[in-house]
Every structure is written in structure tokens, then in C-alpha cells.
Amino acid sequence: MKDFIFNVSTKILFGRDQMKNLASEIKKYGSRVLLAYGGGSIKKSGLYDEVVKIFEDNDIFYKELAGIEPNPRVDSAREGVKIARENNLDFILAVGGGSVIDLSKLVAGAVYLDCDPWDIVIKKAKIEKALPIGTILTLAATGSEMDAGGVITNLETNQKLGFGSAYTLPKFSILNPETTYSVNAKHTAAGIADIMSHTMENYFTLGDGAYMQNRLAEGILKTCIHYGPIAMEEPENYEARANIMWASSWAINGLLSTGKSTAWSVHAMEHELSAYYDITHGIGLAILTPRFLNHILSDKTVDMIRDFGINVFNITPSDNKMNDAKKAIAYLHAFFEQDMCIPMTLGEVGIDDEKLEIMAEAAARHAGGTIRGVVELTRDDVLEIYKASL
């Protein structure tokens, strides 16, 4: 296992009755708040009214940054920076899913820099300081509530790229599973696929001796496989929503990758699909993952994928390791398709073969030439995986 430092200081307030702590948590950091949210789900659910009442009752001044898009656009960050500066705001409360939280992180860092927010994403500028952020999570998926990163889209350049800074780690996150009751079946499934993908990106590595991390990863995958179908069937099942929500935070907060080298190969390929076709992130990951595993299956990786099948899907091991590994991949595919009702081809989400080469090229380029994961992927490998996903 490699050396590592694990230091995730986000305070988690989990459960049904945590909004009572919102004002006091904010007041530790500021009193002039940028209230950031998405396209209106929080107004429908009543959460917006609840937050605003808490602000009013506690003399918390606020301005709104509304309408943050799924696959959040850099334009919204530009607007957020302007509002924060004009009103001398000192705290950001992000209420929503990963898109709202990611965008808020970019605003938090960009406020203090004399540059366009996109410069941070393309690494022309570096966050040295940020407004403190708190989150109220409404969709279990990205783990943005307990990690330091974000992913931002620039429609003008067809780019969707990640950035990260220790300064943008949320100070606190309120996780009430009930807020996810209203998430529809599509986004519930996409969220679960995203959580599983984060776990698998950390899990599929070789020879690092990270035994404990891998058993924890299997626990998170089993949690998703057990509770995913329940949440799909019974959207208001608290136990299911609670387990999935807590899994979302731990899949990507750094614990599973401690002591490992991880490359996030499937995410690198998916971000191009979202950049060019604006598809839902988790759906793209579900489509690509079984094809990725098929592509990298070889004598080198067969034990790793077979163990995944045995430990996560309870496959009975046979003498034919290769067959066992193929079975594991088939089980994963079937879980996404049958239990999560995810459309499992690119065609079904509106992607044909027109831009596959451009996207494969971009995926390799953004990774620095090749994607150096458990198996190194060249542009041609990515293209093959895209084609197999059509």
C-alpha cells in the first residue's frame, strides 16, 4: 500500500431532523449567503421555503443563484461570482445535487481570483482561497457533498472537465434521506450507477495490497445492489434512501483510493459523452462500464474481475476463471438494465457513431495522451469501447 494522507473535514449532519442546525452552522462562517440551487426541484419539494424561513428567522442576508443546470455550465459560475462580489457575500449554501454543489465550488474559488472561472478548470489559474461552502444534498450520486472536486461544462468548447481544491471542500453537509424521496426513477438509477462507478474506479486496481479498501468497496457496491431496486420500487423507503445517500459520500471521499493509484478511466470516457451530447452522467457510466471491463479482460485482470463477481454478486466460482469473470460483467450489465431500468446502449440516449472518433481523441488528450488505469487505454481503445457501447 502506498503512503497516504486522509483528511476529510466535512461535518456531516445526517438524518430527518438536521435543518435545526443550519443557521448555527452557517453563522460559524458568515452571515451573507449566496443561496445556490438548480432548476426548481427544491421549490416543488418545499425545501426552498424551509431554507428561506430559516434565513429570515435568523437574520441571515441572502442572494440567489438560481437555475444551475445539470452538467453545470461555466456561465452560471460567472453569474455567481458577479452576485457574490456585488453583494459582498461571505458564504455559499448549495442546495441540490452534484451539479449545484460543483458549480458552487467553482464560484467559491473564482470570487478571489482576477480571472475567468474557466481558467481554474483548465488549470490556467489556481484556487488559493475560497468562500466557505455548506451543502444540503438532494440527490445521492456524486459525493460532491464530501469531496473537494467539481466538474464543469463549457458548451462553447465542448469540454466537460474536473477541477479540485482543498479550499472548496464543504465545511458541512446536511444529508436528509427524505429530501431524495422526490428524485425520479431515472435520476435515482443514474445516481446509483454513479456511486457504483466511483467505487469501481477505486476498486479495479492491481497489486497495491489495499485489501481493506477493497472489502469496503465491495460493501458499498453490495449496498447499492441491495437497496437500489428497493429505492426504485419504493421511492419513500427511508432505509433504502439513507443507505444509498451515505454510500454516495463514502464512494468518492478519498477513503477507497487511499494507498492506491487510480485513473478513473470510465469517467474520463463518460465526460466526453456528456460534453458532446449533454447526457446524464450516471447513465453514461452504466453504459460504458461493462464494455470497459470486457475490453480490459485478459489473463492479467481475470482474477480481479472474477473476485468482483464472487464477492459482490455472489457468483459461485468455477474452474474456468475467464467464464466466471465474463459472468461477473454480465451480472453488472443485467443489474443496470433490469433492476435499474437504465437504457444500456448509446443509441438509446441519442448518440450515434458520428462523433465517436472526436470524443475518443478528446478523452485520450484530456488524460495526457492515454488513460493510465489498471490497463492503459489509448485513443483506439476508447474508440473500441465506444463502438461496443453503440
Helix, strand, coil % over all residues of the chain, rounded to 5: 55, 10, 35
Give the cell for residue 73. 455550465
138 binds, among ligand NZQ, Zn ion, none (CB under 5 to 8 A by kind): ligand NZQ
102 binds, among Zn ion, ligand NZQ, none (CB under 5 to 8 A by kind): ligand NZQ
Nearer to Zn ion, 205 or 248 (CB): 248
Closest distance of CB 99 from ligand NZQ, Å: 3
40 binds, among Zn ion, ligand NZQ, none (CB under 5 to 8 A by kind): ligand NZQ
Largest CA distance in the chain: 68
Q: Is the dihedral of CA 236, 240, 245, 246 positive or negative?
A: positive
| Contact footprint for ligand NZQ (CB under 6 A) | 38-42, 45, 70-71, 96-100, 102, 138-139, 141-144, 147, 149-151, 179-180, 182-183, 187, 191, 194, 252, 267, 281-282
Nearer to ligand NZQ, 165 or 179 (CB): 179
Buried b (16+ CB within 10 A) or exposed e, 250-287: bbbbbbbbbbbebbbbbbbbbbbbbbbbebbbbbbbbb
Q: Which of residues 160-219 bind Zn ion (CB under 5 A)?
A: 194
Query: Which contacts qualify for 352-355: CB closer than 8 Å, 24 or more apart?
Result: 352/390, 353/387, 353/390, 355/276
Query: Using the rule CB under 5 A, is 145 a contact of Zn ion?
Result: no
Nearer to Zn ion, 79 or 194 (CB): 194
385 binds, among ligand NZQ, Zn ion, none (CB under 5 to 8 A by kind): none
Nearer to Zn ion, 194 or 324 (CB): 194
Across the chain, how many H-helices and E-strands are there? 15, 10
Closest distance of CB 373 from ligand NZQ, Å: 15
Nearer to Zn ion, 89 or 180 (CB): 180
User: How many CB atoms sit inside 10 A of residue 61's CB?
Assistant: 13
- How far from the centroid of its chain's Cα atoms is residue 152's Cα? 12
143 binds, among Zn ion, ligand NZQ, none (CB under 5 to 8 A by kind): ligand NZQ
Task: Look at residues 364, 131, 117, 124 and name the one whose alpha carbon lies nearest to residue 263.
Answer: 364
Binding site for Zn ion (CB under 5 A): 194
